[in-house]
Amino acid sequence: MGAEFRVLGELRATVDGRDVDLGPRRQRCVLAVLLVETGRGVSVDELIDRVWGTAAPQRAAGTLYSYLSRLRGALGGATLVNASDGYRLAIGPDDVDLHRFRRLIAEARASDRDEVAGELFRQALGLWQGQALSGLSSPWLDDMRSQLEQERLAARRDHVDIELRAGRHAELLSELTTEATRRPEDERLAGQLMLALYRSGRQADALRHYDLTRRWLAEEHGADPSPPLQEVYQRILTGDPRLAGTTAPVPRQLPAAPAWFTGRRRELAELDRAGAISVIAGTAGIGKTSLALHWAYQRLDRFPDGQLFVNLHGFAPGGEPVSPAGAIGALLDGLGVLVGARPVDLDAQIALYRSLVAGRRMLIVLDNAVDAAQVAPLLPDSPSGTVVITSRNRLSGLVKTPVPIEVLSEEESRDLLVRRLGTSRVAAEPDAVEELVAYCGGSPLALGIVAARAAVHPDFALAGLVAEFRDASTRLDALDEDHPMASLPAALSWSYNALTPEQAEMFALLGLAPGPDIGLPAAAALANRPAAALVRALERVSLVQQDKPGRYRMHDLVRLYARDRACHDLSSEQRTSALLRLTDHYLHSAYAGDRLMYPSRTPIELTEPVPGSRPHHHADVAGVVAWFDAEHSCVLATLRLAEEQGWHRLVWQLAWSLDTFHHHGGHVHDDLATWTAAARHVDDDLRGLTLRRLGTAYSRLGRHAEGMEHLLRSLALAEEAEDDAAQAHCHRALAAAAGLAGDNRSALDHAMSALRYYEKLDSPIQQANALNQVGWYAAQIGQYAMARSHCEAALAVLRDHPDPQGEADTLDSMGYICHHSGEHALALGYYRRALAQWRKVGAAALIAEVLERVGETHTALGDHEQARAAWRQAFEHYRSQNRPTDAARVERLL
């Protein structure tokens, strides 16, 4: 039998789908008592007391039996039973709306999920059809009706709490206002209305309702508001962020994952190892956002509480970077906090945001930040979440070690093109692809532009694209698209436009600097002002990179953009003056270094440094060698620049200033290139010297015929001018060239001629060097006695006229003479002294040659381990100096 009974409203019973006539009022009261006590027997005395109370008639028991009999007939004989504990209805609790209500309420309060509890409360409260036990009256029933109303109100208050947590304050506001008017004594209701008003942006109304409640309580009961209501009031008064808490959907704000992401294993691993805050820093178009999003999508399981994403527009077309207030607003939007529920004060909004993310495993991506000040207010206090920031600025104040993102490797660049264009198309034109990869320099944005243009015309050869990129002056134009987000020049312009005027000028001037990188002293000469702060500011926004301490470089495409800005934003006079200062800086620094490395060398005359050139001061020879090692490629590039500019005297002077370093360091190819450049536009007064240095460079490279040709031309000019010093220098150079060509007898003849000239000139140091040269070549043809006497004479002169290079060279000769005279232990002593001297003057090339001979002497002594150790050192020197023939010879010895 199916039966349903209603208590929460007018009493009703439905049995087998039909409404039952429940009879007169007292008979309905009997049924109401039995329904309230469903599942428990009620005795006759209890029924009489609950139905009539003190007004029970004399024959109440008989009347009660009559009612029960009629109810049994109306409801069915099996429904109303008389058991040992009294009368009860044979029905289940869920057949009565009251008991369903209580069950649903209990389940709701036991649930730890608001969405589940809210639905259970909604179902329970939906069972009420008006006033409970409507139309029935007795002392017991009246008390029960009041109790049930309290149960309903308590359930309603619990349900409203859940609704408020879900952010439905606006929907509740009207109903709560009406209820509060009817029930001014309900302080919990007052607190809920105040909260709904506050979250709707009506803080004043919320405080006003508190004041009304407080006065009502004082007037009616002489009491103050309860502590919970006072706490709500205080929180509203102070804008406590906890009042704005809502239960919103889990935010999933990440933009789509990058479709053609390539490489970046190192950066991904660094992000995995990073702590709660990571900064991905790099230049425009390098792929910072793509890296952040790719990593985020790979790690979504680490952030079950959601992902927030805000573009801070730190470097973007037009407008200003997003303010902290705007960014906090966007984050609160993502967290589901309605505008009306937010405090007005920014600090309170920040506190609210931090409270909402505290303890939650969330990812917050702050994209394209301009500086630390923009980001700092957006960082949560809780370590449970993760913040990933992308910026052209390194934001070093926020994290100890940013995650720098560099260019893609050649392999990764090709892989990106394969992903975009397909394997077959890339494989069909390997040479064109190689050129495109080189021109893009590993920039993902540049590669993406190239790939997009190629994809538009799938039938076009990639070689056609290469032609557009080949000319450096138009390469940026080839990477400029209509849409600013797909244009490399546009992306770089956003960084440039964010610079101060001084920083912008420094950036443009660095685009003119000819070397692959630049040091701070050279940058200061270029700008004619202290440059450290300016260059470091450019580094912070990733327009330059510091690969080595104090050395800064630009990506090739960034350099092209900087050069373009220099041409547009600086006058021709500004550009020329800057390059002259830089050239003079390198020239005077190199010349001073050469004088320290080879003090006995006949000097040349330089003009005074131009104002602002700031030549480098060298403390000692070791400092000179370190300076040349760092600046060598820049000085070579400056020499080429000087030739392009027509500053021919400066070209020659730079070649001269590099000569000793080239000789000591084994830079034979660079030596030939610099003297070749010098010879192209040399003045007549310097032609002989230039031919001599050029001939020496050819000879050291093994191009003996060309070397001898230039040296003989130099000698002819010296003889024509009757210049004894020049003739002496030429014969000495010819001796060295002949020796390198294997003609030791001619070498000895030229060395003897050089010695005669130096003796006439009364030049002790040059005379000592000539004596040593005679001794060396005498030894080469086996005349060891003659060799020894000349070298010992050279050392005697050098004791009175010190020359570290001449002494090292002569000690080396003595070691060779002793070795070939069978005096191996004595030879090692000379060699060790020679090595010490060569190390003092930083002559790595000559150190390698002495080490090779040391190995030979150890072998003669039978000490093969010592020989191998010396040869290993010599081999490493030769290899680092790009001297493959010498390296191969020593490798065979090993």
CATH superfamily, with its number, for domain 784-894: Tetratricopeptide repeat domain (1.25.40.10)
pLDDT of amino acid 756: 94
- Of 470, 438, 429, 436, which Cα lies nearest the Cα of 452? 436
- CA 666 from centre of chain: 40
- CA 371 from centre of chain: 13
Q: Label each residue of 446-501 as H, E or C.
A: HHHHHHHHHHHCCCCCHHHHHHHHHCHHHHHHHCCCCCHHHCHHHHHHHHHHCCCH
Percent helix, percent strand, percent coil in the chain, to nearest 5: 65, 5, 25
Q: Are strands 86-89 and 80-83 parallel, antiparallel or unpaired?
A: antiparallel
pLDDT of amino acid 727: 96
pLDDT of amino acid 732: 96
pLDDT of amino acid 250: 78
Using an 8 Å Cβ cutoff, are 639 and 654 in contact?
yes
What is the CATH T-level fold of the domain 265-404, as seen in this structure?
Rossmann fold (3.40.50)
pLDDT beneath 70: ranges in the chain: 1, 77-78, 239-242, 244-249, 316-319, 338, 340-341, 400, 471-487
Q: Where are the domains of the chain?
A: 265-404, 410-489, 784-894
pLDDT of amino acid 713: 96
- Cα(609)–Cα(604) distance, rounded to whole angstroms? 15
pLDDT of amino acid 469: 72
pLDDT of amino acid 249: 64
- Of 211, 297, 210, which Cα lies nearest the Cα of 253? 297
- Cα(784)–Cα(502) distance, rounded to whole angstroms? 67
